[in-house]
Amino acid sequence: MAFTTFFDHIPTIAYEGVESDNPFAFKWYDAKAKVLGKSMKDWMRNSVCYWHTFRGMGGDPFGPGTICRPWEDGTDSLDQALRRTEVVFDFLTKLGVEYYAFHDRDVAPEGGNLTETNANLWAVAKQLKKLQDATGVKLLWGTANLFSHPRFNQGASTSPNADVFAYCANSVKEAIDVTKFLGGENYVFWGGREGYNSLLNTDLGREGRHFAAFLGMAVDYAKSVKFRGQFLIEPKPCEPTKHQYDFDSATVLGFLERNGLADHFKLNIEQNHATLAGHDFNHEIAFATSVGKLGSLDANRGDTMNGWDTDQFPTDFREAAQAWLYIHQNGGLGSGGLNYDAKVRRDSTDVDDMFHAHICGIDTWARGLRIAEKIIKDGKLAKVLKTRYASYDKGIGAEIDKGRTDFRSLQAYIVKKGEAAPNASGRQELLENVFNSYV
């Protein structure tokens, strides 16, 4: 039963298989199909983001929004925010996803003062709770927008203005409370303005200490209110600032370790952020997995010809297939999911395009999962990897891995041997052929 009529012309999106030419159907995503011991739905945990899909109207730095949604009255009022929630849940249920994610400012407008702003957020949160209960859709994660308003123009918790730091504390406290109230499974920190544009006006040491103190207070607060969701940091190297402190996964983890915070966070990795940092998406996912910190994914894609965050819907099922190898190794995404942090292009102006975009993103990741299943079941690639490190399974290698060697004993070993054993071929081209054979 729909709450509104805006999607009446669109059928409920169902799995019809690759033979289907129905544009409003999944070709690869069969929610209930068992893959590698779990349903596709349980592997994927698909989520729609509120900001792009319901608040993005196609504006860019060269021109205003081009998209007029029939349910929008052109205001950012609380009334409009409340009415919009029903449309959101109609979209989620018609698409058949189980999760959504939002920033505080996506769902509720600022008021005349901070007390009103907090009240607005709670008014909408109560409405969201009703809709969640009525539809069974769940909150993947909540977060606070600490980057759009002009008060954040010099940073959020790393602003030189201490009042802004205090303002952010209010926002994150309320956003954690609301996320907890809605049963959110994670809470995300993306530090869009946590960085700098010029070192001439920036005290790096001081900003780093403020950032760590802020995250520490968030951890303490969550503990004090028994918020059980997973804290996630979303790395991004730049945009909007020239240099952002959460540059990439390795930088974030180093920062957390240095400040005694590593136990409390995992990573939310986004494809287009990885490529802006000069990494493959899969580099970031494999790294996070290797250190036990893979939390969730913002599934989107950039454009290799552009140097900014284009936030397009995923289409690359080969990349997704490789990602699933690491996610599988990780035992799944845990409390995380695939959040389609992507927006339709500014010339894709119809309501129908919202569906086509998400169907494509979900099918891309579903197709990748089916390819990964073949790779994992076959075991050829895993065997090559195991063999490549076999010198550590016995002899001196096993001694090294068990921590039983030092420079003296290693010197004695290799001097006696006279030269290292020859390297076997890395066989990259063969492995690329093998990978292609599953696609």
| Active site (catalytic) residues | 103, 106
State the CB neighbour count (10 A cutoff) for residue 287: 20
Distance in Å, CB of 49 to ligand XUL, minimum: 7
In the list Co ion, ligand XUL, none, the entry touching 373 (Cβ below 5 to 8 angstroms by class) is none
Distance in Å, CB of 134 to ligand XUL, minimum: 26
| Window 123-162: contact mask with ligand XUL (x via CB under 6 A) | --------------------x-------------------
Residues 6+ apart with CB under 8 A from 76: 109
Please, which residue, 85 or 296, has the CB nearer to ligand XUL?
296
Tell me how many degrees the CA angle 249-255-259 measures, rounded to the nearest 5: 145
Please, which residue, 26 or 211, has the CB nearer to ligand XUL?
211
Distance in Å, CB of 241 to Co ion, minimum: 16
In the list Co ion, ligand XUL, none, the entry touching 196 (Cβ below 5 to 8 angstroms by class) is none
Tokens 């969640």, residue? 132
Distance in Å, CB of 408 to Co ion, minimum: 50
Please, which residue, 35 or 276, has the CB nearer to ligand XUL?
276
Binding site residues, Co ion, CB under 5 A: 270, 298, 341
Q: Does 179 bind ligand XUL (CB under 6 A)?
A: no
| Window 253-272: contact mask with ligand XUL (x via CB under 6 A) | -----------------x--
Q: Which of 177, 207, 284, 298: binder of ligand XUL (CB under 6 A)?
A: 298
Distance in Å, CB of 236 to ligand XUL, minimum: 6
Q: Which of 48, 188, 261, 333: binder of ligand XUL (CB under 6 A)?
A: 188
Please, which residue, 30 or 341, has the CB nearer to Co ion?
341
3-state secondary structure the chain: CCCCCCCCCCCCCEECCCCCCCCCEECCCCCCCEECCEEHHHHHCEEEEHHHHHHCCCCECCECCCCCCCCCCCCCCHHHHHHHHHHHHHHHHHHCCCEEEEEHHHHCCCCCCHHHHHHHHHHHHHHHHHHHHHHCCEEEEEECCCCCCHHHECECCCCCCHHHHHHHHHHHHHHHHHHHHCCCCEEEECCCCCEECCHHHCCHHHHHHHHHHHHHHHHHHHHHCCCCCEEEECCCCCCCCCEECCCCHHHHHHHHHHCCCHHHEEEEEEHHHHHHCCCCHHHHHHHHHHCCCEEEEECCECCCCCCCCCCECCCCHHHHHHHHHHHHHCCCCCCCCEEECCCCCCCCCCHHHHHHHHHHHHHHHHHHHHHHHHHHHHCHHHHHHHHHCHHHCCHHHHHHHCCCCCHHHHHHHHHHHCCCCCCCCCCHHHHHHHHHHHC
Please, which residue, 28 or 231, has the CB nearer to ligand XUL?
231
Cα separation, 113 vs 299, whole angstroms: 35
State the CB neighbour count (10 A cutoff) for residue 306: 12
| Window 327-356: contact mask with ligand XUL (x via CB under 6 A) | --------------x---------------
Q: Which of 90, 207, 234, 284: binder of ligand XUL (CB under 6 A)?
A: 234
Distance in Å, CB of 191 to ligand XUL, minimum: 9
Question: What is the phi/psi pair of residue 72, to 5°?
Answer: -90, 135
Distance in Å, CB of 365 to Co ion, minimum: 16
| Window 47-86: contact mask with ligand XUL (x via CB under 6 A) | ----x-----------------------------------
Please, which residue, 248 or 309, has the CB nearer to ligand XUL?
309
Q: Which of 90, 104, 185, 309: binder of ligand XUL (CB under 6 A)?
A: 309
| Window 82-111: contact mask with ligand XUL (x via CB under 6 A) | ---------------------x--------
In the list Co ion, ligand XUL, none, the entry touching 236 (Cβ below 5 to 8 angstroms by class) is ligand XUL
Total residues interacting with ligand XUL, rule: CB under 6 A: 11
Cα separation, 384 vs 256, whole angstroms: 34
Binding residues for ligand XUL, per CB under 6 A? 51, 103, 143, 188, 190, 234, 236, 270, 298, 309, 341
